[in-house]
Amino acid sequence: MREITFKNNNVYIKCDNFNLDMTFDCGQAFRFKKISDNLWQTVAYGKKLVIEDADGFIVLRDVTENEFYSLWENYFDLKRDYNEIIKVLSADKTLKIAAKYGKGIRILNQEPFETLCSFIISQNNNIPRIKGIIDRLCKKYGEYLGEDLYAFPTASVLANLNEEDLKDIRMGFRARYIIDAAKKVSQGEVDLNKLKFLDYKTAQNKLMTILGVGPKVADCTLLFSLNHFEAFPKDVWIKRAMEVLFPNGLPDCVKGYEGIAQQYIFYYAINKKI
DNA sequence: AGCCAGGGTCTGC
DNA sequence: GCAGACCATGGC
pLDDT in tens, A49-67: 999 999 899 999 999 999 9
A156-171 confidence digits (pLDDT tens): 999 999 999 999 999 9
Residue A272: predicted pLDDT: 83
Per DSSP, what are the bridge partners of residue A91? none
Helices (H) and strands (E) in chain A, counts: 14, 8
- CA A18 – C1' B5 distance (Å)? 28
Give residue numbers, 192 to 251 of A, with CB < 7 Å from strand B: 208, 211-218, 220, 233-238
For residue A146, name the pLDDT band (cuts at 50, 70, 90).
very high
A14 touches strand C (CB under 7 A): no
Question: Average pLDDT, stretch A125-139?
Answer: 98
For residue A31, name the pLDDT band (cuts at 50, 70, 90).
very high
- Tell me the residue type at A142: G
A268 touches strand B (CB under 7 A): no
For residue A195, name the pLDDT band (cuts at 50, 70, 90).
very high
Angstrom distance (rounded) from CA A161 to CA A168: 13
Provide the sign of the torsion angle of the four alpha carbons A77, A80, A82, A83, taken in this order. positive
Question: Is A12 in a helix, a strand, or coil?
Answer: strand
Element of type H or E holding A6: strand A2-7
Contact by Cβ (8 Å): A59, A13: yes
Q: In terms of residues, how long is chain A? A: 274
